Structure 1
């Protein structure tokens, strides 16, 4: 799912041993179910950085540094360059530009929104909440601030509040499967049984022809991982389309495997989502955070088992 505003294709069948070696020791009892899907994985060629973005960054830099313009114009250019930096994965440079933009124009809501996203990725949740609150104070109808604050609350272990933001976001477009999926993820942390009941009911509004409805079916248990993976290349005609789809699919397969306590498989799926280089997608942004949080929880668990 793109946040705001893949015929070269490499198909590889991965060996079960290679891809599941990290999860066998953790989940021997559950590895069989996940390995069925893993043995059929399709991998797209990772997206290359768009040369047009590189040229645009260079041109914006020249204007910012050499042309005499108003503070308001310069703020907009910093923001625009920050968006381009963000789109090619240069997060630190993007944050600097968003900060510069706000110093010059403190009412630039989208800059607050992006900073909130980056702070969430850095696990600076309290600061992220503040940025999204600023967006909504300046622009109460900014619907993506509800999505992004909801995600920050979800990863900040405040699922009840996250669900409220996701409900507001879902209400704006109730047939959008991605809005529905994030709402489900938050509600699942509060009451897994009720969350599945709500997901099934709300899914009736989603068009069956929409590919992402397969993700909903996966979480509902209506289809298996094997069936889900076997249909990933349906109606795909380019590497770009394939890469976009796999970025999303592997992230949600990671979340699904987490819910099944298949943590090794979940980690592999998050890594596969990251390997697509689709930097602008929500799923790519938070796959790395998922991995960071999983490592942190594992370290805490090991320390609790062996305090010495």
Structure 2
């Protein structure tokens, strides 16, 4: 893959990372990596503490609901999503007026392809908190993955116009708009990016537009981070949007590898990690459909030859 190309960077020593290149060829031997994130002692202690507190029979419902929410959040942060979902549901049974929980449940439903349930969850969030920006974006993304592109575009366009300075709104608007008109979508994203090329998020926009090469993107990540957690987070984002770019170009093998890399760092709370699973499933379905179509065409050719 061309992502291994890297010019004249020498040996980069990155805290907890693993990105090296050869002296002779100046080509990447391995893609830039970070140590996968692990549950911290603080997270484990908090989960254990909440386990003990929730056993107490004298807790008021409001307090118990808050504790279920807190424990569910810790479970979610370490990738235990089924346990997190169970705690969130128990919290809602005690206190239904919690927009943040509905938003998280909507993301879970999106991940597993239960789109109608996701829409209902995001609607509940926005009914309780009409200004919840995360629910607005997640609703548009759920509609995108649910193949309701027109509604998705309307939602994301309104979300983008609320804050045109947000590069992630611009990115997802492009991803969705591309389903309607790829050429126009790229023109619009270039116009949005033209005078807003500062900050990490806009580097990701440049990656999507192919204005920044993969070697430049990796150099920006490696030179801009000295902490393994941030390195893992930025690589998760970089590999996800590179995966989308390759997927749009029909380079499915490259896209699959990139989505797997985005998953490898265990940045469970990032949407780029959450939706990499969905993208992999979509690619597998698309490739399988192409193979079945090719098989049918071949079978029809055989029937024509045998009948002639």
TM interval, shorter chain, is 0.7 to 0.9
What is the alpha-carbon distance in structure 2 between the residues aligned to residue 92 and residue 195 of structure 1? 37
Q: For the structure 1 residues 170 and 298, does the alpha-carbon distance in structure 2 shift closer, same or farther, using more than 3 Å as the test? A: same
What is the alpha-carbon distance in structure 1 between the residues aligned to residue 96 and residue 195 of structure 2? 39
**1:47–1:240 CA contact under 8 A, matched in 2:** yes
**Which residue does the alignment assign to 2:15?**
7
**How far is the alpha carbon of 1:94 from its aligned partner?**
0.6
TM-score, normalization by structure 2: 0.85
Q: Which runs of 5+ in 2 are unaligned?
A: 1-13, 300-308
**Which residue does the alignment assign to 1:130?**
120
**How far is the alpha carbon of 1:108 from its aligned partner?**
1.3
Number of equivalences: 281
**How far is the alpha carbon of 1:225 from its aligned partner?**
2.9
CA-based RMSD of the aligned residues comes to 2.2
2:257 alignment partner, SS class? helix
Q: For the structure 1 residues 289 and 171, does the alpha-carbon distance in structure 2 shift closer, same or farther, using more than 3 Å as the test? A: same
TM-score, normalization by structure 1: 0.85
**How far is the alpha carbon of 1:284 from its aligned partner?**
0.6
**1:37–1:229 CA contact under 8 A, matched in 2:** no
Q: Deviations over 1:80-107 (max 9, x none)?
A: 1111111100010011011111111122
Q: Deviations over 1:3-47 (max 9, x none)?
A: xxx832222569xxxxxxxxxxxxxxxxxxxxx997662111111
**Which residue does the alignment assign to 1:90?**
80
What is the alpha-carbon distance in structure 1 between the residues aligned to residue 105 and residue 27 of structure 2? 36
**2:239–2:259 CA contact under 8 A, matched in 1:** yes
What is the alpha-carbon distance in structure 1 between the residues aligned to residue 274 and residue 250 of structure 2? 22
* 4+ residue runs over 4 A deviation: 36-40
1:190 alignment partner, SS class? coil
**Which residue does the alignment assign to 1:187?**
177
**Which residue does the alignment assign to 1:21?**
none
**Which residue does the alignment assign to 1:247?**
236
**How far is the alpha carbon of 1:229 from its aligned partner?**
3.1
**2:21–2:27 CA contact under 8 A, matched in 1:** no
**1:247–1:273 CA contact under 8 A, matched in 2:** yes
Query: Which of residues 172, 177, 197 in structure 1 aligns to 2:187?
Result: 197
Q: Which runs of 5+ in 1 are unaligned?
A: 1-5, 15-35
Give yes or no for the alignment of 1:227 onto 2:216.
yes
**2:37–2:265 CA contact under 8 A, matched in 1:** yes
Give matches, 1:1-308, under 5 Å: 7-12=15-20, 41-204=31-194, 206=196, 208-306=197-295
**1:82–1:97 CA contact under 8 A, matched in 2:** yes
Q: Deviations over 1:94-153 (max 9, x none)?
A: 110111111111221111111100000001111101111111112211111111111111
Q: For the structure 1 residues 55 and 146, does the alpha-carbon distance in structure 2 shift closer, same or farther, using more than 3 Å as the test? A: same
